[in-house]
Structure 1
Amino acid sequence: MASSILIKVTCLAMICLIFDIPLANAGQTCGQIKGSLLPCLGYLRNPGPIAPVVCCNGVWTVNDQAKTLPERKDACECIKSTLISIPGLDPNAVQGLPNKCGVKLPFPIGANMDCNKLGDGMH
């Protein structure tokens, strides 16, 4: 069973690398964002009382590297499209992940978020 999960994670990582399309004005590509957040996949499918440290490190990395409003909007669009494309994610775990990792966001995270309404108060 562990090898099955490893194969799935490896395949997902390869897909992320293949579709690594740079975002306009972004400090990080969508592929880099996906790579940072990949360790969160298991938690977002089957959440526990705490998010894994490696997952939170990825959340912090994405948040810290999205400094400008255009970078935040690009990161938001990447996260939104990724959330839409991965089946089986727990919407409550997705929405609560930033808080579980100690990242305060002024907007809810989810597949229905409106990235055009982001403000400068993301950090």
Structure 2
Amino acid sequence: MCLVLALHFGEAAVSCNTVIADLYPCLSYVAQGGNVPDSCCNGIRTLNGQAQTSVDRQGVCRCIKSAIGGVSFSSSNLNNALSLPAKCGVNLPYRISPNTNCDR
């Protein structure tokens, strides 16, 4: 029983599906700029609130990297993604970027 609990607590509590669903409303802003949708900021706040442990934050970071890693972004798209936390008033412990080191 202790082993099962130890394994459970070592896993990220936030799934990649949750990360993608919460950040989906941000795609229009990342692609085109303009105003950040309220639903995007709500998703970022939700993810930040759910990822309380280092394991959770690293898992969310890896999901973001995985989701954007296979897509070609222009520099303006990357700048839009990087600006999201500040525009939403959220202090994330990592950058929304394909170059982020999620292990730190």
Aligned to 1:73, which of 52, 58, 72?
58
Quick check: 2:14–2:59 contact (8 Å CA) kept in 1? no
Deviation at 1:105, TM superposition (A): 2.7
Deviates more, 1:24-33 or 1:69-78: 24-33
User: Is 1:37 the counterpart of 2:28 in the alignment?
Assistant: no
2:71 partner letter: I
User: Is 1:27 the counterpart of 2:3 in the alignment?
Assistant: no
Any gaps of 5 or more consecutive residues in structure 2? 1-9
Alignment length, in residue pairs? Answer: 93
Aligned to 2:78, which of 54, 66, 91?
91
Any gaps of 5 or more consecutive residues in structure 1? 1-23, 118-123
CA distance in 2, matches of 1:75, 1:46: 24
Percent identical among aligned pairs is: 39
CA distance in 1, matches of 2:79, 2:53: 27
- Aligned counterparts, 1:1-123, within 5 A: 25-48=11-34, 50-88=35-73, 90-117=77-104
RCO higher in 1 or 2 (8 Å CA, sep ≥ 6)? Answer: 2
TM-score in terms of structure 1 length: 0.70
CA distance in 2, matches of 1:47, 1:92: 10
TM-score in terms of structure 2 length: 0.81
Q: What is the aligned-residue RMSD (CA, Å)?
A: 1.5
